A and B are shown apart, each in its own frame.
Chain A
């Protein structure tokens, strides 16, 4: 055993101990957060992911298991470290496919598309779950994850029906003058469709389901609830308070403005569940 193999096996220890099985589970590195969160939900933790340091801030749940190595950032993957960890399989998405020629020098690569437009809500996250389940030898876990998710979404749908909520406008404040507003084919829109909430933003978005606009674009006389995801820039509230355009908006006057914790926009089933739970929970607290 040379030093490299030794280092690799030491790095692998936590995972080997976690799941003593007859067939050692595949050691998988993921270049994409949506794939990583689905893996964790399937009970098969990745050994390494990109940008692990930011996970707890943007993905939040499922929490990142201890010992998952941080491969750094998309444009500059730490290939030295990845090679040392000697994975059996590397997962990529079309977004990072330019890395594949290099990744293939380390281990076989499987590309899974996490974002496709479709008529059925959440079709692509479901597909991702099934494909990953098959690749990891966890077909049953994938099936039960989807069944649990469906049950949960049906439950949320019923609770929403009881609430008769206003249409929602989902935004991220970028600074005190601009927001990113969500709709189109994005994950949030998919969840809204699935649980039966109307999106107040009906205008066009980019391919990924969001638009960057000046705040004056949000002006409307219809009543709605504005939901801003964290983080909200510290100067947004005070600046907007001084804007007659903003403070006279009917939905602002009515106090229909909420802030929700961050949810991964390019996420899969786990992020979709998190968003539905946070949103419905929040709306229910408001109606009490």
Chain B
């Protein structure tokens, strides 16, 4: 699929988008404007149409363009400075920081919200960005470290606010709307204050365009040109973070514009960074304006409240999927080369020490608990039957899911060479959520069995898609990741819309998505354990590939590895592992991201040892998470999947902070 060179000029697409967006906006305001002009002659005392036009519709459309443009600029800068086509304001944890700040202040210091919701959000974004910088300060502010730290902080803040929402859903209903970015306006104040804030960022952005364009070269060449890479990176990330934080604080989270607009700009032929930044900004503004104007025209049709931020993701995800085949993922200088440390534990050491440690954890988790009055107790023999019925099964199930996801995460990160890869980017979990959502809305409430059947079916559907994709051509891991991200964003958006409307079924969905283990039966636990044992044994087989693939394409070919086939088989294996874990723990797969990093930070390098290590680390994290979930807020039980992120993320942050310091 090629486009004649003559048409590959970014302004053609930009003009087309602009015409479309403006046209839609004009359709929206034409009638009120005409009436407004007509009523100049004898204005009524309170003309609703006029007031709505002047103080709701027009500020809203202006806000849409401004927010879209700023987010796209932020995304374009981030993708350039972090050299990662997946980078966007959301992946750096900027939104999640703001969300957590709003959740915490709403619950504990509501008077601060009265002082200014936008100030609270900005503070949250600033704190999370500072934390990212703090964590990567000893790693030379490397692009990879920034992305990873942002991801972890995003996960942590996201999980923390999701927990707060589950605990206090009524007070935090505002977070749902905020999280799916409603552009609804009742005055020009928010637009004007956003405009003022963004204006502050214009000069810094103009100043960093030139140095940033040089980043198309690798770090060493850039340094040879005399550019202070570290300082540049910190400055660029800070500016991008500020742009997106300003928007988020004004209207909430607008998904996907920051990711999709720069990608479209690049595809439409913007070569140099300066061009990409400019055209992304224009296209981002037009895209959001188009989306919002269309939404306002359609708003009369449905009684349901549909926030714009969620819709951008619903439209943007398929767009990204469509564009994927055309996206040239440039062979950039490999960013995954990590310093090899001298220590390399043997497979048997890993297995023995890991298993012993894990069993110790399980023992503690089974025995230590809280009684009916919340008192801490160690289970006695008299409680054996009760421990076996209610406690042991959930621990076994959680640990099995952790082992499955840990292994899946390891395989994915090795195959794609991307440390951000975690099982959910395969889209398997997204497929499962989509199927459960559909089933929930078509059939009403679901019992556990049918919910799991629906989840499995959704996961298998995505697997099938992967198989068709994979059998066609040699599969590009970058594209699989982008595809997975697009699918996940789509799902987030669907769930976001449901929650924002306040539909009670959204809470059922959120409950399931947060990873519950409470009612696991003995049979269910046995099945989970068996699935983990079998699938992890299978995962040991291709460990040689796991050693070779990260070295890059040419070395792999040199040793006679069929790249396409081995990659496809490994991706498929990771997908099967994920699909098996979904009915056990739901679609939350944070642990799959964390386990391989824990293993790496522990100094384990050999592929086979890594497979076992990741499985054990995953199981361990989930065991601890399950115990914390059961006891921390007794009698209230927390969802294990969310707690896993809360337990695992800080651990990962400490490791990140320490790792290179000792090397």
A binds B: yes
Residues of A in contact with B (beta carbons under 8 Å apart): 2-4, 7, 11, 53-54, 58, 69-81, 83-85, 94-102, 105, 172, 174-178, 180, 203-206, 208, 210-216, 219-221, 231, 233-235, 238-240, 242-246, 248-250, 266
Identify 24 residue pairs between A and B in the complex whose beta-carbon atoms are under 8 Å apart, listed by A's number: A58-B170, A74-B507, A75-B512, A75-B514, A76-B636, A76-B638, A79-B518, A80-B386, A83-B386, A84-B386, A102-B448, A174-B174, A174-B177, A177-B186, A178-B174, A178-B305, A206-B501, A206-B503, A215-B186, A234-B110, A235-B113, A242-B187, A244-B187, A245-B52
In the complex with contacts A72-B635, A177-B184, A234-B111, A101-B382 CB distance below 8 A: no
- Residue in B448, B636, B638 with the greatest tally of chain A CB atoms within 10 Å: B636
For residue B84, CB closer than 8 A to chain A, the reply is no
- Assess whether A231 is in contact with B117, with CB atoms less than 8 Å apart: no
Given contacts A81-B372, A214-B182, A235-B116, contact A74 B52 (CB under 8 A): no
A-B contacts counted at CB < 8 A amount to 200
Partner of B502, one of A95, A98, A212, A245: A212
Q: A242: which B residues are within 8 A, CB to CB?
A: 187, 189
B377 to chain A, nearest CB (A): 10
**Residues of B that sit less than 8 Å from A by CB:** 46, 48, 51-52, 54-56, 106, 110-111, 113-117, 166-168, 170-171, 173-174, 177-178, 182, 184-187, 189, 303-305, 369, 371-372, 380, 382-383, 386, 389-391, 444-449, 451, 500-504, 507-508, 510-512, 514, 516, 518-519, 521, 629-630, 633-639
Question: Among B166, B177, B303, B448, which residue has its beta carbon within 8 angstroms of that of A175?
Answer: B177
Other-chain residue from A4, A102, A215, A234 in contact with B382 (beta carbon distance below 8 A):
A4
Decide if B448 touches A210 in the complex (CB within 8 Å).
no
A178-B184, A233-B174 given; A4·B383 CB < 8 A: yes
From A58, A84, A102, A177, B182 is in contact (CB under 8 Å) with: A177
B102 to chain A minimum Cβ distance, whole angstroms, is 9
Complex Cα–Cα for A234 and B511 (A) = 28
Of chain A, the residue at the smallest CB distance from B381 is: A3
Residues of A within 8 A of B189 (CB): 239, 242-243
Given contacts A71-B635, A175-B174, contact A220 B48 (CB under 8 A): yes
When distances are taken between beta carbons in the complex, the residues of chain B under 8 Å from A99 are 519
Measured between beta carbons, the chain A residues less than 8 angstroms from B167 are: 73
Beta-carbon contact of A208 and B186 below 8 Å: no
- Measured in the bound complex, the distance between the Cα atoms of B177 and A105 in whole Å is 38
Question: Is A240 within 8 A of B186, CB to CB?
Answer: yes
Provide the residues of chain A in CB contact with B511, threshold 8 Å.
Answer: 74-76
A137 to B478, CA, bound (A): 65
A2-B382, A235-B117 in contact; A75/B445 too (CB < 8 A)? Answer: no
Q: Which B residues are in CB contact (< 8 Å) with A71?
A: 635
Q: Do the beta carbons of B519 and A70 come within 8 Å of each other? A: no
9 nearest A-B pairs in the assembled complex, by CB-CB distance: A75-B511, A234-B114, A214-B184, A102-B519, A216-B56, A204-B303, A245-B55, A212-B305, A76-B637
Check if A75 sits within 8 Å of B510, measured CB to CB.
Answer: yes
A248 to B52: give the CA distance in the assembly, Å: 11
Per the bound structure, the CA–CA distance linking A234 and B451 in Å amounts to 39
